[in-house]
Amino acid sequence: MTKKNQHLTTSWGAPVGDNQHSMTAGSRGPTLIQDVHLLEKLAHFNRERVPERVVHAKGAGAHGYFEVTKDVTSYTKAAFLSDVGKRTPLFVRFSTVAGENGSADSVRDPRGFAVKFYTEEGNYDLVGNNTPVFFIRDAIKFPDFIHTQKRHPATHLKNPNAVWDFWSLSPESLHQVTILMSDRGIPATYRHMHGFSSHTFKWVNEDGDGVWVKYHFKTEQGIKNLTEEMGQRLAGENPDSHTEDLYNAIENGDYPAWRLYVQIMPLEDADTYRFDPFDVTKVWSQKDYPLQEVGRMVLDRNPENYFAEVEQATFSPGTLVPGIDVSPDKMLQGRLFAYHDAHRYRVGANHQALPINRPKADVHTYQRDGQMRFDNNGGGSVYYEPNSLNGPKESPQHKPAAYPVSGVADSVAYDQDDHYTQAGDLYRLLTKDERTRLISNIVGAMKPVESDEIKRRQIQHFYKADPEYGIRVAEGLGLSVPSKRK
Ligand code: HEM
């Protein structure tokens, strides 16, 4: 809030005499270098931007809380999930993936769904999407995949040739491509979509017993989507439609909420389940592992300052609390490095200490110094370990649960290569109208691809998922229908 009758100061607090006219030699100048207020204004302005996120650059955020509604203590010792009725403050950032900061909200793209729980045992970040699966399943392919989603290095234009070349040569993407091209590919707003961890995590209870879990946030607002035409029109009319919708809903007291459920898989099932449970291109059937309620997330407060809170927020799937561990999912493992590395580059080595990222739990580390250390930096307290000064000590009971591993160190492919069953099942689940829109969206997206070879390769994948799926895309593109041979 701006208070009345304050006088303007420099960043160092001294009163400013004139904020409208540079100090010049006479009315025609030249401008004097001794006008340090002018120099500071210009120099600070040049440094107003931090690098935008390399993916998920456009987003909107809100504060809220999580309330436990069901007892899950037999599965996890996470303190914030320890009691029914317990509330934990949180911050959420929703985003699109491929566009730049400033790009339109209503595009066909997955939506990021990142939640930071400020728990009493430190922050817990759940950094998911609005889709239960992903395009690839090994982190080593991520930079190449994202290159195809971004701009061509020469033309600086979006490049459908690269998009479909990569997807057609990476059939593990078929499931996510089918979701992306379906009605769910353009949510009507950030409030009208579900959220998923996508990855498998491990929950561990007080006795050290573990289970594999996947998270599902179900929107209480209901699912609402935009058609391709509506999305395109809105992108022109109001490129910030999702951002505006979220802000206004909260401002009007219409607080959006989601129910959190988990699917729980006994550890031993991972060896025998018909899909690799750590393969992020696959879902677990809800018939095999039904949804179990955990709690409710409500967003009830807008950020006061977008840059301080939304732009400087740093989420990482490796920010975990006791009782929640990672799984061997190869994508998740790569993400454990990528995020905080991005934060050190984008926000700085001490990004964790910024108000939006700072845990509400006490922090006792031996890390010191670094750029922009704006708290007391540990004062004169002990700054190394081991020490005989009674400094903070590790607590072995908080080690992640040990688990056995085996194998030969090598660049190893997944054992299972069925990319078609789940994509086909999804296609067969769609109604007649939903299929028609799916095909129309795919045909519209593939038409600009110059190479028939790429189109034919991709059509084969649709065909293998379901012959009708492949045939209809081929017909839409005016290409020969694939042979019945699989
Ligand atoms: C943002 C890397 C896969 C969800 C980011 C950022 C990086 C990144 C570097 C920007 C972080 C920042 O500057 O703050 C990767 C890599 C992946 C991967 C290397 C694969 C190996 C995924 C998957 C999901 C996901 C599978 C969802 C299940 C998100 C979200 C954000 C994000 C939601 C935005 C977080 C925010 O709002 O600040 N990713 N990503 N990413 N990623 Fe990933």
Q: How far is the CA of 402 from the centre of ligand 1 (A)?
A: 27
- Look-up of token digits 């709690």: 295
Contact 449, 411 (CB under 8 A): no
Q: Which atom of ligand 1 is nearest to the CA of 112?
A: 33
Q: For ligand 1, atom 21, which residue shows the shortest CA distance? A: 139
Contact 323, 81 (CB under 8 A): yes
Q: For ligand 1, atom 16, which residue shows the shortest CA distance? A: 335
Within 6 Å (CB) of ligand 1, which residues are found? 53-56, 59, 93, 95, 112-114, 127-129, 134, 139, 142, 198, 280, 313-315, 331, 334-335, 338-339, 342-343, 346
pLDDT digits (tens, 9 = 90+) for 39-80: 999 999 999 999 999 999 999 999 999 999 999 999 999 999
Retrieve residue 262's tokens: 């988990």
pLDDT digits (tens, 9 = 90+) for 260-269: 999 999 999 9
Q: How far is the CA of 204 from the centre of ligand 1 (A)?
A: 25
Domain with CATH 1.20.1370.20 in the chain: 420-486
Contact 313, 354 (CB under 8 A): no
Q: Which of 49, 52, 53 has the most ligand 1 atoms within 8 A of CB, as the residue to mutate?
A: 53
Q: Considering 37, 56, 351, 419, which one is annotated as catalytic?
A: 56
Buried b (16+ CB within 10 A) or exposed e, 87-118: ebebbbbbbbbbbeeeebbbbbbbbbbbbbbb
Q: For ligand 1, atom 4, which residue shows the shortest CA distance? A: 128
Retrieve residue 374's tokens: 């704006």
Q: Residue type for 331, please? A: M
Q: Considering 37, 63, 123, 129, which one is annotated as catalytic?
A: 129
Q: How far is the CA of 41 from the centre of ligand 1 (A)?
A: 34
User: Residue 218 belongs to what H/E stretch?
Assistant: strand 210-219
Is 273 annotated as contributing to ligand binding?
Answer: no
Q: Which atom of ligand 1 is nearest to the CA of 139?
A: 21
Q: For ligand 1, atom 30, which residue shows the shortest CA distance? A: 112
Q: How far is the CA of 339 from the centre of ligand 1 (A)?
A: 7
Retrieve residue 318's tokens: 């490796």
pLDDT of amino acid 486 = 46
Q: Is there a catalytic annotation at residue 56?
A: yes
Q: Which atom of ligand 1 is nearest to the CA of 61?
A: 37
- The per-residue pLDDT string of the chain (486 residues; one tens digit each, 9 = 90 and over) reads 677 889 999 999 999 999 999 999 999 989 999 999 999 999 999 999 999 999 999 999 999 999 999 999 999 999 999 999 999 999 999 999 999 999 999 999 999 999 999 999 999 999 999 999 999 999 999 999 999 999 999 999 999 999 999 999 999 999 999 999 999 999 999 999 999 999 999 999 999 999 999 999 999 999 999 999 999 999 999 999 999 999 999 999 999 999 999 999 999 999 999 999 999 999 999 999 999 999 999 999 999 999 999 999 999 999 999 999 999 999 999 999 999 999 999 999 999 999 999 999 999 999 999 999 999 999 999 999 999 999 999 999 999 988 889 899 999 999 989 999 999 999 999 999 999 999 999 999 999 999 999 999 999 999 999 999 999 999 999 998 887 544
Q: For 32-362, CATH number? A: 2.40.180.10
User: Residue 232 belongs to what H/E stretch?
Assistant: helix 228-237
Q: Which of 49, 50, 52, 56 has the most ligand 1 atoms within 8 A of CB, as the residue to mutate?
A: 56
Q: How far is the CA of 97 from the centre of ligand 1 (A)?
A: 8
For residue 363, give every residue at least 6 positions away whose Cβ sits within 8 Å of its Cβ, in sequence order, or none: 122, 352
Q: 3-state class of 139 per DSSP?
A: helix
- First-to-final CA distance of the chain: 66
Instruction: Give the Cα separation of 96 and 345 in Å (integer).
Output: 21
Domain with CATH 2.40.180.10 in the chain: 32-362
Q: For ligand 1, atom 40, which residue shows the shortest CA distance? A: 335
Q: Which atom of ligand 1 is nearest to the CA of 197?
A: 28
Q: Is there a catalytic annotation at residue 21?
A: no
- Look-up of token digits 């809100």: 62
Instruction: Give the Cα separation of 248 and 225 in Å (integer).
Output: 19
Length of the chain: 486
pLDDT of amino acid 401 = 85
Instruction: Give the Cα separation of 212 and 154 in Å (integer).
Output: 45
pLDDT of amino acid 42 = 97
Q: Which atom of ligand 1 is nearest to the CA of 196?
A: 28
Q: Which of 90, 127, 135, 214 has the most ligand 1 atoms within 8 A of CB, as the residue to mutate?
A: 127
What's the fold here for domain 420-486?
Hemocyanin, N-terminal domain (1.20.1370)
Question: DSSP secondary structure string, 1-56?
Answer: -PPTTPPPB-TTSPBPS-SSS--BSSTT-PBPTT-HHHHHHHHHHHT-PPPPPSSS
Question: DSSP secondary structure string, 430-478?
Answer: S-HHHHHHHHHHHHHHHTT---HHHHHHHHHHHHHH-HHHHHHHHHHTT
